[in-house]
Structure formats: structure tokens, C-alpha cells
Structure 1
Amino acid sequence: MLSSRLDHLLTRFSAWRLGPPRDGSLPTRRIATPAGRVRVFDSGSAKPCVVIAPDGPNVIEHYEALIHRLAPVHRVVCCDLPGFGHSLPAPTYTHSLDEGARAVLAVLDALGIARAALAFSCANGFYALRAAQLAPHRIMALVLSQTPSMTAMHAWKRRVIPWPMTVPIVGQAAVWLAREKSAHGWYDHALPHNRPRQPFRRLAQQAFSQGACWCLASVTQGLARADVHSLRGITTPCTLLWGARDRSHRHTDPASLRDLVPGAEILRCADSGHFPDLEQPERFAALLGERIAAATA
């Protein structure tokens, strides 16, 4: 599609103009997938594995505190999915459910991981659900945040996403031109009033200054083309954390996820916004450890 090729060109222009990203305290590598080269941090061990995908405009560096809490007892893999952070999308990547899920499975293949839990959030959660459909023997548990049913997510898109973003070509160009400003404003909607925005914005701005991408229009358009019934009937153990102070989702019913995963456990976090994993990393790490322990028992 022309829109995916435009994303490919714009993201590479930014990366070329601003130079290669520099790793901080979290060393990363690039893994080739059909969707593009995926930037990955891997703590590396034989411990039970959890894979985390940042919810843009967050990047791997936003998850440093959570990674340090998890690493003593888990193998932690954290990867920017294609089109976000420093994982630039391939020219043919349309952010479909299958493409996103297969990119996740390709990362597992490249790292030699036979089985893992997936801790994904918001739109990324749908790729985790699809991966559990495609390879149920490889996904031991799902721990999602702010991922409702596909129907509820389409309604959220109509309420929250500006309409130009839903138009191919127009949306890709608009998001690229306003990526830093729109990311800056997104944290106001996503975080509770009493949560400082600056730590989130600082890391996002640092990533943008090194050529990071945020292909929000493409993921919005890609998921809009998905069949709302295609993810039904998932039996992988699934827990959904729902930040009740996320103003962008104040009209979304988290229990709608049970349309796709009938046995999903729904936990409402009264003190969290859009990022319950990052806002309360100690609590999230404890919960994730419990769910992985149950899945490996």
C-alpha cells in the first residue's frame, strides 16, 4: 500500500537525518523480521520468559525500572514493535493482525525462545492475542493493559483519534509532521492528573531526537481493517489490567475483552491511567510473576 511505503520513507528519513540511536544502560540489538528490523533488549537467561512491547510513544527505555524488577526471576525481552520507537517499518508492513503477530513470533524464533508470556498494552494487545491464536503452544499467558474488545477499540478510535489520521497517506504525513507535539499532548490524556508527565515526555523526546518513529496513523488504519470477530475464542490464560484514570478510555468497558477471551480476568486499577505497567511497576511485576508462575506450574 502507498501509505505503508510513505511510512517507510518518512521514518528512514528521520533516522538518516538524526543519526543512529545510542543505547543507554539497556543494551539492544536488531532482529530482522518481515515487518522490519525490530529493536530488542534481552536480559538473556534460562528463566521463564516475558516479552514486553512498549505502547508508543513509549520506547524500551521507559521500561527500565520494570525490567530491573523482573530480571532477577525472569528472562525479560522488551521490543519496540515495527513502526514504533527505533523499529522502523518495512515498506510492505500494513500493521495487520497477522503481520504484527508474526513479527512477535519472529522475535521469539530469533532468540530461541520456545515459550513466553506476553505483556502488551492498548493496540499492541491485539497482536498478542493473534499470536496466541497462531501459536497457542508458544504463548503461556497474556497480561494486557488497556486492551478491550476489537469492537470497543473501534469505538474508542472514533471518539479519540482525529479523523485525518484515519485517511491513508494524509494520516501518515500528518502524524510524521506532528509526532513530537502529538506525543507530548498524548501524555496529558493518558496519565492521571497527579502523575508527573515530564519523565515520560523526556524519554519520548530523547527517542525522537535520535530518529524514533511513531506510526500511529498506520496502526489505526491497519486495525480498522481487521474483522472484529477474528480474535474470538482465545483460551490462553489472560489477565487485563485496566487503568481507571485513563481519560482517553473513560467510555470504554474493559469487560468487553471477554467477547474475545471468555475467561479473561479483569483487574481495575483505580490509581492508574493508560500505563498501569509503568505507573505502578512494582505491582505490575508482582502480578506478572504470579501469572507466569501459574502458567509454568
Structure 2
Amino acid sequence: MQVLTRPWGAMHYRIDGPADGPVVVFANSLGTDLRLWDQLIAEMPEVRAIRFDKRGHGLSDEGGDFGVEDLAEDAAVLIEHLGVGPVVFVGLSIGGMIAQTLAARRPDLVRAAVLSNTAVRMGTKESWAERIAAVQSTGIGAIADIIMQRWFAPVFRARPELAAWRNMVLRTSAIGYVGACRALASADLTAATSGLSLPVAVIAGDQDGSSPAELVKATADLIRGAAFHVIADAGHLPCVEQPAAFAAILRDFLRENSK
């Protein structure tokens, strides 16, 4: 087990794949840990995959109060610690906001980025406040079924593995979950993301109930030269529902931008 010590505590990370493969760093969504990428990485054994649990998720410590910029700094320190930059950075949902922020603040560490099911702003302060209140009053279990409906297409929700994803959400630290919700509520990356000049691919799911394809495309439209892809029969986590389709997009992107 690999852990990086940060001022706020232990940051869990994992490395898979060949040492000479293209280095790709993956950042997870709200309520998931680094296992989010298991199926995608299985589709791409040629990649040197680096994953981490952000604050308050998976095996990392809770990390106190934080914003998206703090999560981006954690990713920057990890890349520097491993001596692997510049990397291709893939982020989903809040992970995509980490990717946008890191690319804007530390272009020396990011050669290209894939932004999946994300935007420059996600939700509203009011909607995040309602979610925070629900978690604090009755626990994550009160919203777990709603999350599953927003995350996954109906076909996937009928599959037995849905229970495992629901359990992942339930076992997320309430403190970490609320902290990430607060980070999302305060984040507006419009100015920074509009100025990005690195290669970017943007991915949406056609059945995403959390970040609809039109919202994701609006962010792609802000970035000069960004390629936009919609994965069919996928919700908020297309790397889970359609890993082969996601891998095909990422593999083509790496072919052009990993060196």
C-alpha cells in the first residue's frame, strides 16, 4: 500500500502498469475511491496508471476544510513526489475540476487532460447546501438511491454490481463527502478553464443525471481545440458502464498526446 504524507494527513495512491508506459494520472468523482478506474485500467494494460484517493475518500485521511484548488495541489505534490510529470491527467466529475485547476495552475505538470462528466461549475450553492444538510442530519444513506439514479443508466441499475457502487458511497466518510460538496459549491473555474491551451478531450454520458451532456459540452466549448465525445448508454461514470468505449477515446488521445 502506497501513502504520501501531506500536511493534512495520509494520501493513499496506487500505481499499475508497465514502467515504460505512458503515464496517466486519474482523479475520482465525489463519493468514489480509486477503484472507480478498475475496469478502464483493465482495458488499457499498456498505461502506467497512477490513481489516488482524494481527501476524505477511500483510504485517505479526511483532510479538514478544503477547496478544489487544495485537491489540485495534492495531485501536484503527488506527481512531483513520483517524478513523473508532465502527465496526461484524467478527471471525472470533481476529478475533472481537479484536472482543470491543475492544468491552469501547473502547466509544467500536465501535458494534456481528459475531462469526463464535469464542468466549470457543477450544481448550485443551494443544491449543494441541501445535500450537505441531508448528509449531516440523516447520513449518506438518505441520498444513496438518488445518487445511483443520477449516476447510472437504467440498464446498469438492474445489474447486481449496483449494490457494490452503492456500498462505496455509503462507506465514504461523511466528513470527506461534505467537504467535497463544499468545495464543489464554491468552485467556478470559468476564467481559468477558458484560458487553457493544452490538448483536451471532453467526455459526457448520454444518460448522465448529474452532469448532462449539454452542460459538459458547454465547458468543452470554452477550451480552444477541445474534442468533445458523448458515450452512448452511459450515465455519470462511463468508465464503469462503458469502459471499452472510454478506453478507445483515451487510447486515441494518448497516441497523439502522451509524448
TM-score (norm 2): 0.86
Amino acid at match of 1:157: T
Alignment counterpart, residue 151 of structure 2, candidates 190, 204, 224: 190
- Structure of larger gyration radius: 1
Correspondences of 1:91-106 after superposition (within 5 Å): 91=64, 93-94=65-66, 96-106=67-77
1:181 CA displacement: 4.3
Q: Structure 1 regions of 5+ residues with no counterpart?
A: 1-27
TM-score (norm 1): 0.76
Contact preservation (8 Å) 1:145, 1:277: no
Counterpart residue type for residue 20 of structure 2: A
Tell me the residue number matched to 2:234: 272
Counterpart of 2:153, as a letter, is P
Whole-Å separation in 2 of the counterparts to 1:56 and 1:186: 10
Structure 2 SS opposite 1:120: strand
Give yes or no for contact 1:35–1:103 (8 Å, CA) kept in 2: no
2:97 aligned residue:
126
Counterpart position of 1:9: none
SS in structure 1 at match of 2:230: strand
Q: Does 1:164 align with 2:130?
A: yes
- 1:13-66 deviations in whole A, cap 9, x for unaligned? xxxxxxxxxxxxxxx322122454221110151321111122232222343222
Q: What residue number does 1:84 align with?
A: 57
Cα separation, 1, equivalents of 2:6 and 2:44: 26
Cα distance in 1 between the residues matched to 2:166 and 2:82: 27
Structure 1 position 75, deviation (Å): 0.4
Structure 2 unaligned regions, length at least 5: none
Distance 1:291 1:46 in 2: 18
Q: Which residue of 24, 36, 47 maps to 1:74?
A: 47
Query: Which range moves more in the overlay, 32-41 or 285-294?
Result: 32-41
Q: Which amino acid aligns with 2:94?
A: A
Shift of 1:142: 1.0
CA 1:88–1:293: 2 relative to 1, 3 Å: same
Contact 2:128 2:181 in 1 (8 A): no
8 Å Cα contact 2:86-2:110 kept in structure 1: yes
**2: distance between equivalents of 1:249 and 1:114?**
29
| Residue number in structure 2 paired with 1:63 | 37
Instruction: Indicate the SS of the match to 1:40.
Output: strand
CA distance in structure 2 between the partners assigned to 1:185 and 1:172 by the alignment = 13
Change (3 A) 1:114 1:162: closer
Give aligned pairs, total.
255
Task: Tell me, in whole angstroms, the C-alpha distance in 2 between the residues paired with 1:57 and 1:221.
Answer: 13
Give the distance between the partners of 1:221 and 1:158, measured in 2 at CA. 9
Contact in 2 for aligned 1:118/1:141 (Cα 8 Å): yes
